[in-house]
A and B are shown apart, each in its own frame.
Chain A
Amino acid sequence: MTATAPAPSPRAVQPFLRLRGVRKSYPGVVALAGLDLEVGSGEVIGLVGENGAGKSTLMNILGGVIAPDRGTIEVDGAPRAALTVGQSIGAGIAFVHQELNLFDNLDVAANVFIGREPRRYGLLNLVDTRRQRQAVAPLLKRLGANFGPDVPVRRLSLAQQQIVEIAKALSYDARLIILDEPTSSLPLRETEKLLEVIGSLKADGIATIFISHRLHEIERACDRVVVLRDGQLAGRLERSEITYQKLVRLMIGRDLKVVYTAPGAPRGEVVLSARAIRTAAYPHHPVDLDLHRGEILGLAGLVGSGRSELARALFGIDPIYGGSVVLGGAPLAITSTRSATGRGIFLVPENRKEAGILLDMSIAQNITLPNLEAYARGGIVLPAAEARRAEKSKADLDIRAPGVAARTGALSGGNQQKVALAKWLAMNPRVIILDEPTRGIDVGAKFEIYRLMRGLADAGVAVLMISSDMEEVIGVSDRIAVMHEGRISGMLDRDRFSEENVLMLAVGYGIDNAGATA
């Protein structure tokens, strides 16, 4: 800066946003442990971190949804203990969530102005669509959009819809736009387009926080990367320093509290063998997978990598578009859930409340539902047989409930999950797939579920555990398969288990050693 330049106003030197010692804890978990973060005007910051590193908590604090326990949030130099939603919007902080919040049936302009439409004709109070469109057109132009304000949103591609969200943010005079994994479901060309938009925002002095796991995007778009780990700032990298190895090294290093329990016997023969399976999510990417008797195979990967879709296909929920499945040496055509459950292939789905159990039915009714004929004679259910089975499951799995006639919806998450598991345990499983088995349940129940899974494996069941919780994947699995964009990107044996290896494979980077096969 030369002497002739005007003295910088205090506004120019202070960053737009500054977090100091922001802390937020929940019973039993510290989500953010005293975080410091600065975002300058026009700065593009990459934010990375594993599940549970504190990203969502940070987003919620910035959005005014939750208040931190301690620390200050400074916007334009004005310190506050917490933001309200209104203050957050007023300060110009805008979000583009992974799940877009757009109305399919409305046009672009109506989506941008939803809830604050310009009106006309006084009492008639009609939406002034013309004025609305006139106001939105320049925003779209500024973002280089190749569509007009009167296009229905449902006809736009995902990237175009993201641009609509960004236009909406601009219409609120946003000064900081937070993009949550915006590129995770975008094809390459659309990603390019989005990165250009971020660049143009930067030129206008609008800051961006860009949450992503894709290195080259971070490298291209971000001025620096901030890595969160266990609710703390694990480190920051300037653009020139960014490499996968450095990022991953910063992300890992958490305390792993789950202690591995070795199987009672070495793993047995292959029970289920999937060859070149194609699912609806990634029809171009065939998947091979072998599940062994007595083994817990962890299936790791980022959200959207095709793990749940693979599970749903093997369970007959979604159609399989190619390849073959062999169960116990005999080919198996999985055409419906019946064809899977009839042969002892079971799935405990990730969305427990919507699909895992029937909240409005009793514990006993949930447990016997998949195999009700076994508790019936001549098509008539025998309540005594049903109750006996349920009582046994309740005792075996230690389901804590007033009785087996209790409504399942009234139980805690952990006990609901035990019910979801109990219905399959009552049916001689050969293969059990558990999708995020401990999501949203308390620590105590978590360890009980781990114990149950180990017990199942030791009883000769092939267990496939899909999990996004690194601690769980490493602490529970006997082997880990990692998926990346619909492919198995690597298979790790216990001696190769490390957060680093799993993450590297999950982001599709590959690890250069003989232990991993691609």
Chain B
Amino acid sequence: MTKKDLGLLILILVVGLGVYLVNPLFLSPNNLANTANLIALFGLFSIAQGFVIITGGIDLSVGSMIALLGVLFVDMVGRLGVPWPLAAAIVMGIGLLLGLAHGLLIARLHIQPFVVTLCGLLIYRGASRGYTADATAGFPFGTTYPGLDFFVARPWGIPTSVFVLAVVAVIAWIVLHRSVFGRYLFAVGKNEEAARFSGIRTGAVIIAAYTICAGLTAIAAIFFAMYTRSVSPSSHANFYELYAIAAAVLGGFSLRGGEGSIVGVILGTILLQVLQNLVNLLGIPSSLNFAVMGTVILVGVLVDQQWGSFRERRRIREAARTANGVAD
């Protein structure tokens, strides 16, 4: 855990304590479990986004993809009667293919990531609305799916999604911070040219990053569909890509690439969800939700940046002083 992560953790604890003091409901088991569930769901696709941002790219299609895959999953299970494991596999497969397509367009045809995934954002949202003719996709009234209870179960009071996030986070951490592929991701993000001159297949690395992003997003999409039980394609998961980018930036990712950590993006997700919770529990009009979030991110990034440049200036001043001392 870096100093930056520690700072973020302290901020989360301070905000949490503040909310608790004003409204003790914050630490009630039910609120904690609910918040943890949301953290897990948002954490899944924020980690996904992290893989792309580390290469210096961006994926704006995350929210729309969650809507499209959610609609497909609910429709397959609820209306078409497809066994849920098969439906889940199909949804995963489609997700991976879409990610692969993003990666190919970006790495092979050299279209800017922003443009590719912006088009994705529009296409998937439109496709999901067109698929249901703007109706809400839901499970037929009164039917139960024992197999699917898994997604919303709370063994020992802890939502399943939290366990899934824990597993995904550990794997993602190993991949990003310990594996050969992770090193390539950082190298490509820091300097794609130099990475290529080191014999790294930079195109393949970028394609893999977008594919992983879409794959994790597909997992999140299934959980979201089961969490909401029904998917109304025009509003489902709107702006979620921005939550993911915000979590990554709060967690220390650089949008220029080459910087960031899994611990950071998870802490960023937690802070965002705690803030959301704060808005609810402190009785702030929920219409101000985004305003609170935007302000916190701006202040956070500002403080971090200013602190960094302050330390840099101090370091240079001290170095200059030592050098003078030697010269005298």
Contact = CB atoms under 8 A, between A and B. Distances in A.
Contacts of B190: 358, 360-361
A191 interface: no
Nearest to A382: B178
B313 interface: no
B209 to A, nearest CB: 16
Nearest to A423: B198
B199 interface: yes
Contacts of A373: 180
B187 A361 contact: yes
B6 to A, nearest CB: 21
B195 interface: yes
A380 B179 contact: yes
B191 A347 contact: no
B290 interface: no
B183 interface: yes
Q: Which of B180, B184, B195, B258 has the most CB of A within 10 A?
A: B180
A370 B180 CA distance: 11
Contacts of A380: 174, 178-180
Contacts of B193: 354-355
B19 to A, nearest CB: 38
A359 interface: yes
Contacts of B194: 354-358
Interface string B95-136: 000000000000000000000000000000000000000000
A198 interface: no
Interface in A331-373: 336-338, 340-342, 347, 349, 354-361, 365-366, 369-370, 372-373
Interface in B158-206: 174, 178-181, 183-184, 186-187, 190-191, 193-201
Interface of B is mostly: helix
A349 B195 CA distance: 12
Contacts of A342: 199
A380 B194 CA distance: 22
A449 to B, nearest CB: 18
A365 B183 contact: yes
A366 B191 CA distance: 12
Interface in A372-410: 372-373, 376, 379-381
A317 interface: yes
Q: Which of B184, B191, B258 has the most CB of A within 10 A?
A: B191
A481 B36 CA distance: 68
Interface of B: 174, 178-181, 183-184, 186-187, 190-191, 193-201, 258
Contact of B180 (A341, A347, A358, A372): A372
8 contacts: A317-B197, A337-B199, A355-B196, A358-B187, A358-B191, A360-B191, A369-B198, A373-B180
Contacts of A337: 196-201
Given A361-B190, A380-B178, A381-B178, A355 B183 contact: no
Given A341-B199, A358-B187, 18 more contacts: A317-B196, A336-B201, A340-B199, A354-B191, A355-B191, A355-B193, A355-B194, A355-B196, A355-B197, A356-B194, A357-B194, A358-B198, A360-B190, A361-B190, A369-B198, A372-B184, A380-B178, A380-B180
B181 A370 contact: no
Contacts, number: 70
Q: Which of A342, A354, A360, A365 has the most CB of B within 10 A?
A: A360
Contacts of A338: 199, 201
A370 B191 contact: no
Nearest to B191: A358
A376 B182 CA distance: 12
A406 to B, nearest CB: 15
Interface of A: 315, 317, 336-338, 340-342, 347, 349, 354-361, 365-366, 369-370, 372-373, 376, 379-381, 423
Contacts of A365: 183, 187
A347 B196 CA distance: 11
Contacts of A341: 199
A381 B183 contact: yes
B198 A379 contact: no
A349 B178 contact: no
The 3 closest A-B CB pairs, nearest first, are: A341-B199, A355-B197, A370-B199
A382 B179 CA distance: 9
A409 B48 CA distance: 30
Contacts of B258: 360
Given A361-B187, A361-B190, A380-B174, A356 B197 contact: yes
Q: Which of B174, B186, B197 has the most CB of A within 10 A?
A: B197
A358 B197 CA distance: 10
Nearest to A315: B197
Contacts of B196: 317, 337, 355
A369 B183 contact: yes
Nearest to B197: A355
Nearest to A337: B199
B179 A347 contact: no
A336 B199 CA distance: 8
Contacts of B174: 380
Nearest to A368: B183
A379 B181 CA distance: 7
A13 B133 CA distance: 89
Contacts of B179: 376, 379-381
B183 A379 contact: no
Q: Which of A342, A349, A355, A373 has the most CB of B within 10 A?
A: A355
B323 to A, nearest CB: 15
Contacts of B178: 380-381
B50 to A, nearest CB: 18
Contacts of A357: 194
A376 B200 CA distance: 16
A410 to B, nearest CB: 12
